[in-house]
């Protein structure tokens, strides 16, 4: 329900009901969510966030373009060496994503009221079981006389 402002010659105060309606409309307009972000920019959430970064943040377009340019060589290099370490290209890609793009994404998520992504390490920290207590007299390394293995009776 949109209220029309009275003409300047007939200034009448709004009733209590009318002021409550305008406050509710203003609150609805201020609330932003994942749904409204996706409606405005289209696509799945990740794509909508990237589009919002490009449209709403200064240098967002350049940051995402640079990430795209870094992704090609990183993928071509295989992302990791045979011994499991990241290649120089993959490290550059990861550094740019972590230091710049992730911060821009966090700004968009905060602005639109979208929850932050929980990383696997965050989930592990949250669900990690407390360490088990050892029996009295048991060391962390096991029995030194048998090389860490338990002694057999006999």
Is 39 in contact with 51 (CB distance < 8 Å)? no
Residue 70 lies in a domain: yes
Q: Assign 77 a pLDDT band (cuts: 50, 70, 90).
A: very high
Q: Give the gyration radius of the chain's Cα atoms.
A: 29
Residue 14 lies in a domain: no
pLDDT, mean of residues 38-43: 94
Instruction: Provide the number of structural domains found in the chain.
Output: 1
pLDDT at 117: 79
Residue 93 lies in a domain: yes
On whether the pTM is more than 0.85, the answer is no
Residue 109 lies in a domain: yes
pLDDT, mean of residues 41-52: 94
Residue 45 lies in a domain: yes
Residue 47 lies in a domain: yes
| Helices 102-112 + 45-56 axis angle, to 10 | 100
Residue 5 pLDDT greater than 70, yes or no: no
Residue 64 lies in a domain: yes
Structural domain including 82 reads 32-113
Better pLDDT: 132 or 82: 82
Assign 3-class secondary structure to the chain. Answer: CCCCCCCCCCCCCCCHHHHHHHHHHHHHHHCCCHHHHHHHHCCCHHHHHHHHHHHHCCCHHHHHHHHHHHHHHHHHCCCECCCCCECHHHHHHHHHHHHHHHHHHHHHHHHHCCCCCCCHHHHHHHHCCCCCCCCCCCCCCCCHHHCCCCCCCC
Residue 15 lies in a domain: no
């Amino acid at each position: 329900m949109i209220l029309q402002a009275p003409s300047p010659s007939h200034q009448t105060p709004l009733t209590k009901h009318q002021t409550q309606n305008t406050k509710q409309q203003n609150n609805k307009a201020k609330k932003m969510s994942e749904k409204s972000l996706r409606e405005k920019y289209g696509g799945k959430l990740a794509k909508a966030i990237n589009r919002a970064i490009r449209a709403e943040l200064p240098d967002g377009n350049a940051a995402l373009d640079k990430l795209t340019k870094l992704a090609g060589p990183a993928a071509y290099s295989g992302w990791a060496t045979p011994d499991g370490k990241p290649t120089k290209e993959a490290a550059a890609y990861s550094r740019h994503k972590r230091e710049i793009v992730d911060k821009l994404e966090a700004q968009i998520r905060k602005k639109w009221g979208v929850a932050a992504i929980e990383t696997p390490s965050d989930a592990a920290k949250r669900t990690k079981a407390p360490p088990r207590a050892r029996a009295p007299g048991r060391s962390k390394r096991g029995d030194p006389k048998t090389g860490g293995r338990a002694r057999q009776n006999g």
